[in-house]
């Protein structure tokens, strides 16, 4: 093992430990704000693993989309709700925890079996391409996958226009009140009864 492989192995071990610790914090922390911040740490660790695999475009997309958009959106939702209420202890909570633990252990065993049974050796056929992954993805986007790429952009534009229309819609009342007494345009408003009684009393006193 040379120096480059040693650095890669140590980096992979550190990123894997950070990702597992942050994922456990997301699940185990009672404070949902801490869980959201640790979820950002999980996304950053995954982007670091993508960098170790020479997938720089996927790593950048991971940071921009998941950390910069999804995680920030989750934090905004948590801050806007701001529900100050403690978690209530549910009856028979140990059954749910036990079922969740069994599902997690089963998924871990399944993934471990798949990892151990998969042959990860990649045969080197010819010289590796000198182009970066961004150039290769861009070339495929504008040649082989041009139609799905354009359809996705049209769908995103439609969703954005629909969101703008829904956000700028005028607020109209659902029910129009029809029992409001409307006075004619050319008629004077009715005098209050108190003023009428006081004027009549003053006229009788004068007389």
pLDDT of the residue at 81: 72
Q: Is 145 a member of any domain?
A: yes
Q: Is 153 a member of any domain?
A: yes
DSSP-H helix ranges across the chain: 3-28, 32-52, 56-61, 72-81, 93-117, 133-141, 146-167, 193-206
78 and 142: one domain? Answer: no
Q: Is 18 a member of any domain?
A: yes
17 and 75: one domain? Answer: yes
Indicate yes or no: pTM above 0.85.
no
Q: Is 206 a member of any domain?
A: no
Q: Look at phi and psi of residue 106 and say left if phi exceeds 0, alpha if psi is from -120 to 50, else beta.
A: alpha
10-residue stretch averages of pLDDT, the chain, 207 residues long: 78 92 88 89 92 86 87 82 65 83 91 87 59 77 84 86 72 50 52 55 58
pLDDT of the residue at 197: 57
pLDDT of the residue at 61: 87
Q: Is 190 a member of any domain?
A: no
Query: Given CA atoms 14, 20, 25, 26 in this order, what sign does their dihedral have?
Result: positive
pLDDT of the residue at 76: 83
Q: Is 192 a member of any domain?
A: no
Domain span holding position 162: 132-168
pLDDT of the residue at 127: 47
Q: Is 182 a member of any domain?
A: no
16 and 78: one domain? Answer: yes
Cα separation, 13 vs 9, in Å, equals 6
The token duo for 156 is 């995103």
14 and 71: one domain? Answer: yes
The domain tally of the chain equals 2
78 and 138: one domain? Answer: no
């Amino acid at each position: 093992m040379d120096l480059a492989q040693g650095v890669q192995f140590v980096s992979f071990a550190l990123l894997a430990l950070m990702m597992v610790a942050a994922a456990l914090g997301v699940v185990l922390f009672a404070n949902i704000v801490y869980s959201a911040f640790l979820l950002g740490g999980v996304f950053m660790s995954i982007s670091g693993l993508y960098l170790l695999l020479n997938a720089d475009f996927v790593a950048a997309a991971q940071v921009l989309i998941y950390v910069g958009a999804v995680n920030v959106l989750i934090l905004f939702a948590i801050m806007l709700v701001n529900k100050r209420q403690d978690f209530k202890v549910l009856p028979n909570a140990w059954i749910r925890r036990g079922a969740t633990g069994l599902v997690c252990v089963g998924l871990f065993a399944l993934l471990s079996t798949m990892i151990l049974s998969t042959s990860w050796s990649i045969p080197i056929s010819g010289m590796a391409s000198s182009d970066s992954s961004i150039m290769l993805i861009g070339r495929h986007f504008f040649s082989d996958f041009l139609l799905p790429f354009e359809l996705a952009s049209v769908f995103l534009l439609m969703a954005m226009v629909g969101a703008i229309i829904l956000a700028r819609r005028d607020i109209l009342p659902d029910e129009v009140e029809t029992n409001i007494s409307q006075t004619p345009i050319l008629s004077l408003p009715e005098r209050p009864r108190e003023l009428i009684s006081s004027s009549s009393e003053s006229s009788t006193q004068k007389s």
